[in-house]
Amino acid sequence: MKVTVERSTLLKSLGHVHRVVERRNTIPILSNLLLRGSEDGLKLKATDLDIEVVETVPADVVEPGATTVPAHTLYDIVR
């Protein structure tokens, strides 16, 4: 996956999505965000199994794909 996205737009969406994710979780994958790049843009998805938050950010997607990343780490880097 290869995407280009404006920092301020990504930060705003990460601010909404990362609040659902707990730093320490008994199921480690729930501490991550799902990032999916497609022709629609970059989709960010997070869940705590009770609540799911999905945001789509306008992005230039060169290579579509998907991955997970630690939510709070990515938020701290972009901030």
Write out pLDDT tens, residues 8-25. Answer: 999 999 999 988 998 888
Rounded to 10°, the helix 7-17/71-78 angle is 150
Give dist(CA 5, CA 56) in Å, integer: 11
| Token pair recorded at residue 25 | 């979780």
Domains of the chain and CATH, by start: 2-78 (3.10.150.10)
Geometric angle at alpha carbon 9, from 21 and 57, rounded to 5°: 75
**Average pLDDT over all residues of the chain:** 94
Asked if pLDDT for residue 59 goes beyond 90, the answer is yes
| Token pair recorded at residue 78 | 């972009």
